[in-house]
Amino acid sequence: MMQWLVFLLFSGLAVLSALGVVLLSSPIYVILCLLSVLVSVAGLFFVAGAELVGALQLLIYAVAVTVFYIFVLTAVPWEKTLKKDSHYRVEGLLSFPLLLALYVEMALVFLLGISVSPKGQFREFIKSFGNTEVVGGILFSKYFLAFELVSLVLLVGMIGAVIIGRKEVQTYEDGSP
């Protein structure tokens, strides 16, 4: 009963703030709405008993990722945030079919996932081992290859970022600074 109430609270908040992310015009309110979405999703994880995932959601998405939007924010002067129209109408229109396909795929994966997901099999594990151990055990046994591949992708991304962000030793060919 209590669980359902909290769940409804967090999910309602998440949906409302997600609408805010899409509909609001001022970038700072959009960032705040995004933060609200991420925090309420973390709340949903806590309600579901997945404390580790909830805490990581807070630590990684709500803090580490959103902080970088804050950096972007300071590049936006105060007057610009009052602007209503977007510059990317044509691009938005062009990318719409792709977006639709992605959403259909996500819905499909979600529905397929429900039918094959283990129902209550992990509950005993989590009770006897604790959240962190179970997640670690699954990550490093069943999904080990996927996990390592993802970390490789991240490494590649990091190297790319370092290369883009490094200082140019020589900007012009004649050596003038």
Partner 1 sequence: MEGLLAWLIITLVKILVILGIVLGIGAYLTLVERKVAAHIQRRPGPMVVGWHGLLQPLADGLKLLTKEDLYPRYGNPFLYNLALVMALVPATLVFAVVPFGPEFEVLGIKVKPILTDVNIGLLLVFALGSMAVFAIALAGWASNSKYALIGSMRKAGIVVSYEVVITFAVMGPIILAGTLSTYDIVQKQIEQKLWYLWLQPMAFVVYMFAMLAETGRVPFDVQEAEAELVTGFTVEYGGMKFGLFPLVEWYIEVLSLSAIAVVLFLGGWSPINIPFLGFIDPLFFLGPLSPFVWFILKVSLLFLFVLWLHWTLPRYRIDQITTTAWKVMLPLTFVNLVLTAVIAPLIWR
Among 70, 79, 109, 92, CA closest to 22: 92
Instruction: Give the count of beta carbons closer than 10 Å to the beta carbon of residue 31.
Output: 17
- How distant, in Å, are the alpha carbons of 19, 48, 85, 138, 157 from that of 145? 36, 27, 45, 12, 18
According to CB under 8 A, which one of 71, 88, 110, 172 is a site residue for partner 1? 71
24 binds partner 1 (CB under 8 A): no
How far apart CA 129 and CA 147 sit, in angstroms, is: 21
Q: Is the dihedral of CA 101, 107, 108, 109 positive or negative?
A: positive
By CB under 8 A, how many residues form the interface with partner 1? 24
Would you state the structure tokens that stand for residue 54, as one six-digit string?
């909830």
Cβ 132 to partner 1 shortest distance, Å:
6
Residue with smaller CB distance to partner 1, 103 or 144: 144
74 binds partner 1 (CB under 8 A): yes
Residues 129-148 that bind partner 1 (CB under 8 A): 130-132
66 binds partner 1 (CB under 8 A): yes
Among 42, 66, 37, 44, CA closest to 54: 42
Cβ 34 to partner 1 shortest distance, Å:
11
41 binds partner 1 (CB under 8 A): no
159 binds partner 1 (CB under 8 A): no
Q: Which stretch binds partner 1 (CB under 8 A): 8-16, 63-71, 91-99, 165-173?
A: 63-71
Residue with smaller CB distance to partner 1, 18 or 55: 55
- How distant, in Å, are the alpha carbons of 18, 40, 97, 107, 155 from that of 103? 15, 21, 10, 6, 28
34 binds partner 1 (CB under 8 A): no
- Which residues touch 47 (CB under 8 Å, ≥6 apart)? 3, 6, 7, 10
Q: Which stretch binds partner 1 (CB under 8 A): 127-135, 137-145, 147-155, 167-175?
A: 127-135
Q: Rule CB under 8 A: which residues touch partner 1?
A: 28, 32, 35, 51-52, 54-56, 58-59, 62-64, 66-68, 70-71, 73-74, 78, 130-132
